[in-house]
Amino acid sequence: MNTPPFSELGLPDFLLAAIHTLGFEQPSPIQAMSIPPALAGRDLVGLSATGSGKTAAYVLPALTLVDTKSPWPQVLVLCPTRELSVQVCGEVHLLGAKMRGLHATPIYGGAPMDRQLRALREGAHVVVGTPGRLLDHLRRRSLDPSRIRMAILDEADRMLDMGFKEEMDELLAQIPAGRQMLFFSATMNPGVSRLIRSFAKEPEVIEIKQKSRTVSTVDQSYFEVRQRSKVEVLSRILDMNPPRLALVFCNTKRSVDECAEDLINRGYAADRLHGDMSQMMRERTLKRFREGAVELLVATDVAARGLDIDEIDIVFNYDLPTDPEDYLHRIGRTGRAGRSGRAVNFVYGRDIYRLQSIERFIRQTIRREHIPSAEQVEGRRADIIFDALKERLESGKFDAYQESIDRLLEQGHTPTDIAGALVSMLREASGREGSQIEEDRQPVRPTRRSASASAPHEPRREMERAPRSRLPRDHGPARQEPGMTRLFISMGKTQGVMAKEIVGMLYRQAELPDACLGKITLFPNHSLVDVPSELVEQVMHRTRSARLCGRPFRIDVDRMPG
Ligand code: AMP
């Protein structure tokens, strides 16, 4: 879509400066559509998937309301989980980097009260937290709501699914009249619309609609990789299958600079392309890329606009884009003119939600792949050298080198030694210093997603037959996944239990990390839920006095074979 630049959204200079430092080149659609009405003081309902950039869409307007000289909470953000609360606070600090003395604090259940009390006492302008614990603080009067100018509900649908309805109602009822309300939700449902009706005044509804489109000629896969391991993994993939031309997409100019620098330091013919470069420099870089003098071009979406080169073998989403449209544009750079193309995505943690919304958008599944080990890469390099030598031996004549060879033989070196020395020189010339990454030592914990995806290079395993991943609240066919333990709960459909109540009870009472639950299956008089094995004890311990539908229940490891 044609988005206006950040500078046209009405944001003050101190926020534009922070955006510039972060390297965001253009607003995502939800940002472009939400920021102007929010700055104008309107209540908002933003319907947009996770990963669409919605945090900045509300944090930026919220920060314009904060007076850092006043020590009171002025912005309240309700989030479903502690992870999200911490993440939102991080974004507040990044976007508010030019606001001297700005304090944001996360407030969530399961963490010691005293630290939160101290943070609130010391003065937090932006308070971000889960509804239960926020309400605790309101009741204890450690959180004063009287000066709150904006309240934001992030992932409202999820908070309702987790059973926070009463807490949210009670909290919002205590926020002063006249405050601005922003609701963000991935979906609209009766619960969410009831909340909006109760607490918003003539809100502007912004919906990011996504028309689905498919791209059939591009082979798409993803790797689970931490930010700090990305360059190493990128190098390994490149070395396993050296492309002629590859495009590497990053979301920010800063990420482009860092990635390009790392690749150049590792000896790749890489260059960068981003919006801060003059037209002349960009054209020069593009020319070198087209001619093959540069093999790897690291770029932002804006810079790659209009890039018209047919021979790109592979596109990397070094950072997953926030807008699925951008994903399509990016991967549409490969697989052109009847060629086959490959798109590789780097995904970690919460990116998985963004990947899922991209999958829904393109109506295709993106295959998970395993990171090649350093040994596999080394073996592949040896193969490449072997093939090249073999080809040369079969086609070449070496008369011109006879003299050098004779001299070496005369000095007593055997033909095998000479060949060995040459191969080792070739290996050194082509070999790059690889580094150990955390992913080598401990495979990424099998999330529901990773456990279910197929592993093309590995023998067929149990986990490959598992069903496709789902978000925690889905309850698909009951096959247990590796790393998960099935728990029995002594209540089921007859007692009125629904999957979302189990999810809500577990996240709240057992204080589980975000999105860790597996399948939930409901039976008439009992239910089964898969939880990560390492959290079983925590769940059993912390849910001892919990209730479901107002009643106590029994929870135990399921003894029946799955
Ligand atoms: P969110 O949907 O708010 O969780 O954001 C997803 C990610 O996109 C976060 O890492 C943000 O820092 C990043 N992001 C948000 N807006 C932009 C933007 N306009 N350009 C590039 N990255 C962004």
- Quote the pLDDT of residue 490: 87
Could you say which DSSP state residue 126 is in?
E
- The pTM is what? 0.58
With cut-offs at 50, 70 and 90, classify the pLDDT of residue 475.
very low
Average pLDDT over residues 164-180: 92
Residue 175 CB partners (closer than 8 Å, separation 6+): 76, 145, 148, 151
Helices marked H in 213-371: 230-240, 253-265, 279-291, 301-304, 324-331, 351-362
CA of 148 to the centre of ligand 1 (A): 25
- The stretch 22-43 carries a mean pLDDT of 94
Whether 251 lines ligand 1, by a CB cut-off of 6 Å, is yes
Above 50 in pLDDT, residue 473? no
In percent, the amount of the chain with pLDDT more than 70 equals 89
Same CATH fold assignment for domains 6-207 and 448-557: no
Ligand 1 pocket test, candidate residues 251, 254, 323, 354, most atoms within 8 A of CB: 251
CATH fold for domain 218-368: Rossmann fold (3.40.50)
**27 CA: nearest ligand 1 atom:** 19
Q: Tell the CATH topology of 6-207.
A: Rossmann fold (3.40.50)
Mean pLDDT value of segment 520-545: 87
244 vs 318, more confident: 318
Q: Torsion angle of alpha carbons 373, 377, 380, 384, nearest 10°?
A: 170
At residue 447, the pLDDT reads 45
Distance 276 CA to ligand 1 centre (A): 19
What is residue 215's predicted lDDT score, i.e. its pLDDT? 65
Q: What is the pLDDT of residue 451?
A: 39
Q: Which residues contact 308 (CB under 8 A, 6 or more apart)?
A: none
Lowest mean pLDDT across 83-87, 446-450, 543-547: 446-450
Whether 250 has a pLDDT exceeding 90, the answer reads: yes
Domain ranges within the chain, ordered by starting residue:
6-207, 218-368, 384-430, 448-557
pLDDT the model gives residue 540: 87
Distance CA 506, CA 502 (A): 6
pLDDT at 299 over 70: yes
* Structure confidence by residue, pLDDT tens digits, 446-462: 444 443 333 333 333 32
Q: What is the mean pLDDT of the chain?
A: 85
111, pLDDT greater than 50: yes
Q: What is the mean pLDDT of residues 318-345?
A: 86
- The topology (CATH level 3) of 448-557 is Alpha-Beta Plaits (3.30.70)
Query: Which helix (H) or strand (E) is 410 found in, with range?
Result: helix 402-410
User: Collapsing DSSP states into helix, strand and coil, what is residue 176?
Assistant: coil
Distance in Å, CA 50 to ligand 1 centroid:
10
Q: Please indicate whether residue 28, judged by its CB atom, sits closer than 6 Å to ligand 1.
A: yes
The whole-number pLDDT of residue 474 equals 33
